Each structure stands twice: as structure tokens, then as C-alpha cells.
């Protein structure tokens, strides 16, 4: 019964969401106004067959990652997200764990910034959603899994060769990352994934461990970065970090100063690299 209710709920929410509401093109003649199964599967990063089995009640026990991906793709409200978790036989996320829920208003903001590199991270700098321009600029994150999606983990354990820093900027950036992670650890002490992330970072990165033990403080709210892209070359961009009140989400927005060569290269990159919405989950 619960499996049938889960499938019916997914189908009902899919039917009410138009392609335009989900940030997709209309897609020609349609028998119904809602999303097609293949469109939902694409937005959620799962197979069409799995969406079909979920809706038909033939798939049981979807993971929390799948449920969260469906929440974002279907633009569910917070109460609807909790209901979907319960229908899937899962407990809704606790207030004591790092929030990963992206409100529909933030999804709409991403739709309106379709021509600008934008990514949404949680309080630990784990990537939740990246739009196609971000993927074109920084590399496609869709193949990343687990801690690979975390910006702190990637910086200290698998650094990118695309972003260059001066020594002073690097020191400030690292201090801000570690301080942000310390704040998250204090705010969400029951989050197991966060504890595991901290343990791995302290064990594998002497630099991170030294900064953590020193009690360094800082805040990562904006930066000027030079990104060396393999096709269009170096771009010096402003990276502004916007906070979403009440959710601890961070929205990173990359822009170039108008009229500069960086702006021209960024515009070229948007033409060369734009593709459909990319979601790491």
C-alpha cells in the first residue's frame, strides 16, 4: 500500500509541474501539461525505467539520495518533501543534520540565471545543484560521488588545476573554508556525514589539520578567482556567495566585469558549453 501511495504521489506531482516551471523547454506537442517521465528522470538524475517502476509500485525502498533528487526535480515544498520521505519509508531529515532541501524559490532563481555560472552548496560546501554554465566553467560535477562533491574535500585532497590563487588569497580562502566547516560542525553535531568528512580531512590533510587545530576563523562570502579553462583560457571572475535565510544554503554566482576580455571569454564559454541542467544527485 505504501509503495502504491508513493507511486501515485510522484505521478500526481509530475502531472502538476509544467516543463516551463521546471526550467525546461516546452518540447513540442504534449498529451498532458505535466512533465514526461523522461523529463523527470533527467532532472532527478535517475533512469526512466526507475521512475516508471516507482510510479507503478514495482520499486521499493528508494534511497534518501533518490528521494532528495525527486524533491528538487518536482519542486516540492518542505511539507511535501517530508511526506515523500515517509511514503518512501524514510524518516525526514532531522533539524540536527545539515539541510539539503532546496526551496522552489531557489530553483526559480537558478532558472532565471540560466546564462550565468551558478552552484548551490549546503552548509559544509557540499555541492547540491550546478547549472550548465557552472559545469562548463568548472568541470562537469555529475560524475562526482560522496565526499568528492564537497568543496573543502576537493580543495585539500583533490585540488583542481583550474583555479589559481595568490599566496595571500589562498591562505584567506583556506582559513574561511575551515572556519565555515567548524561552524557547521558546531551547528549540526548529529550529522554523521559531516563527522566522517572531518575525520577524513584531519587524517589525510596535514594542512587542514593544522588550520583546524589552530582555531582559524574567517567567512567565505566572496572572492576574485582566476579560472584557467582548457578551451577559452584564463578568466578572472568575481565569485559572490549568497546565503539563503533559514536553510544554510550557499549560492555561488560567477560574473565578469562588463566590457573586459574576461566577459568576452565567459560569453564564448556559455555558447560553447551550455547544456541541460546538471544535478550531481
Segments making up each domain of the chain, as ranges: 2-87, 104-273
CA distance 71 to 260: 39
Cα angle 74, 78, 84; round to 5: 60
% of the chain at pLDDT higher than 90: 58
> What's the mean pLDDT in 31-43?
87
Per-residue pLDDT of 222-258, as tens digits, reads 788 899 999 999 999 999 999 888 788 999 999 999 9
Which has more pLDDT, 14 or 33?
14
CA distance 81 to 75: 9
Block residue for cell numbers 566585469? 257
Is residue 94 over pLDDT 90?
Answer: no
**pLDDT confidence of residue 178:** 93
User: Contact, 126 vs 149, CB < 8 A?
Assistant: yes
CA distance 24 to 53: 23
Q: Residue 219's pLDDT band (boundaries 50, 70, 90)?
A: low
CA distance 110 to 120: 9
CA distance 247 to 270: 29
Lowest-confidence range among 128-132, 168-172, 244-248? 244-248
Lowest-confidence range among 25-39, 166-180, 221-235? 25-39
Helix, strand or coil, per DSSP, at residue 236: strand
Is residue 31 over pLDDT 80?
Answer: no
**Average pLDDT, whole number, for the chain?**
88
Burial class from Cβ neighbours inside 10 Å (0-12, 13-18, 19+) for residue 149 reads: buried
**pLDDT confidence of residue 279:** 45
Is residue 277 over pLDDT 50?
Answer: no
Lowest-confidence range among 5-9, 206-210, 242-246, 252-256? 242-246
Nearest one of 241, 240, 180, 250 to 216, comparing CA atoms: 180
Q: Residue 28's pLDDT band (boundaries 50, 70, 90)?
A: low
Q: Does domain 2-87 have CATH number 3.30.420.40?
A: no
> What's the mean pLDDT in 145-157?
93
CA distance 139 to 142: 9
Architecture of the domain defined by 104-273 = 2-Layer Sandwich (3.30)
User: Contact, 213 vs 86, CB < 8 A?
Assistant: no
> What's the mean pLDDT in 54-64?
89
Amino acid at each position: 500500500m505504501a509503495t502504491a501511495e508513493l507511486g501515485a504521489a510522484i505521478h500526481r506531482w509530475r502531472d502538476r509541474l509544467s516543463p516551463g516551471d521546471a526550467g525546461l523547454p516546452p518540447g513540442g506537442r504534449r498529451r498532458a501539461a505535466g512533465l514526461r517521465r523522461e523529463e523527470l528522470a533527467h532532472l532527478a538524475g535517475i533512469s526512466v525505467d526507475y521512475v516508471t517502476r516507482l510510479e507503478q509500485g514495482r520499486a521499493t525502498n528508494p534511497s534518501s539520495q533518490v528521494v532528495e533528487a525527486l524533491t528538487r526535480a518536482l519542486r516540492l515544498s518542505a511539507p511535501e518533501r517530508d511526506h515523500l520521505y515517509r511514503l518512501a519509508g524514510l524518516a525526514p531529515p532531522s533539524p540536527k543534520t545539515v539541510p539539503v532541501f532546496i526551496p522552489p524559490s531557489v530553483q526559480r532563481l537558478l532558472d532565471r540565471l540560466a546564462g550565468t555560472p551558478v552552484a548551490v552548496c549546503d552548509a559544509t560546501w557540499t555541492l547540491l545543484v550546478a547549472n550548465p554554465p557552472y559545469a562548463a566553467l568548472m568541470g562537469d560535477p555529475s560524475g562526482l560521488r560522496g565526499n568528492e562533491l564537497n568543496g573543502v574535500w576537493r580543495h585539500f585532497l583533490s585540488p583542481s588545476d583550474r583555479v589559481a590563487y595568490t599566496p595571500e588569497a589562498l591562505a584567506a580562502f583556506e582559513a574561511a573554508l575551515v572556519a565555515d566547516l567548524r561552524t557547521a560542525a558546531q551547528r549540526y553535531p548529529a550529522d554523521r556525514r559531516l563527522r566522517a568528512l572531518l575525520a577524513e580531512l584531519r587524517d589525510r590533510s596535514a594542512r587542514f589539520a593544522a588550520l583546524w587545530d589552530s582555531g582559524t576563523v574567517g567567512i567565505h562570502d566572496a572572492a576574485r578567482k582566476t579560472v584557467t579553462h582548457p578551451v577559452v583560457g584564463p578568466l578572472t571572475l568575481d565569485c559572490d556567495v549568497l546565503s539563503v535565510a533559514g536553510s544554510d544554503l550557499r549560492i555561488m554566482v560567477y560574473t565578469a566585469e562588463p566590457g573586459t576580455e574576461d566577459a568576452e571569454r565567459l560569453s564564448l564559454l556559455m555558447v560553447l558549453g551550455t547544456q541541460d541542467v546538471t544535478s550531481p544527485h
